[in-house]
Amino acid sequence: MLNLNRAQVLGNLTRDPEMRFTPNGQAVSSFSVATNRRWTNRDSGEQQEQVEFHNIVVWGKQAENVSPMLKKGQPVFVEGRLQTSSWEGQDGVKRYRTEIVAESVIVLSPRSGGSAPMTETHENPVEDVAKSDAKKEKIEDKKTDIDEKSKADATKKDEVEEIDIEDIPF
């Protein structure tokens, strides 16, 4: 039997990330993302909204990279797995906390374009190569007489695909 534990969240940070280190020196960053669900009430025709808050945990080098880039209110896309932990509180009551352990964090900038993917591995290397090849062809078609250093700089700038939050269909 196959199992799948996958979570994807696109929303806004509710607080700045909190960065700390484990006793053995591993970085861990935690933050919270709010997502909204909007619908129209069938009976009254009024717009209604529900907000969900998701606890996110990022480990290792990715935690060190992501923490300084994220600020409260900023849109972000997080992909990872769900993990629930339990403990007994000082009052003797058993408590639970479910969080998303992030494997991929993409920092989005609202309406200004530009994004910075913070992934440790590429999800689809074939697609990445195809996108890269298409961008190289565009540069060659312009047939400008820019020196080699300028071409390399232009290619580096083009490697980050801009995501406009308005283009996302949900």
pTM above 0.85, yes or no: no
Output b/e per residue, 42-73; b: 16+ Cβ within 10 A.
Answer: eeeeeeeeeeeebebebbeebbebbbeebeee
Q: Model confidence over 62-102: pLDDT tens digits?
A: 999 989 999 999 999 999 999 999 999 999 999 999 999 99
- Three-class DSSP category at 5: coil
Dist. CA 10–CA 106, nearest whole Å:
9
The total number of residues written for the chain in this structure: 170
Q: pLDDT of the chain along its 170 residues, tens only?
A: 899 999 999 999 999 999 999 999 999 999 999 999 998 988 888 999 999 999 999 999 999 998 999 999 999 999 999 999 999 999 999 999 999 999 999 988 765 444 444 443 334 444 444 455 555 555 554 444 444 555 555 455 445 455 666 666 65
- H-run or E-run covering 9: strand 7-13
Domain 7-120, CATH number (from 3.40.50.360, 3.30.110.30, 2.40.50.140, 2.60.120.560): 2.40.50.140
CA 134 – CA 115 distance, rounded (Å) = 19
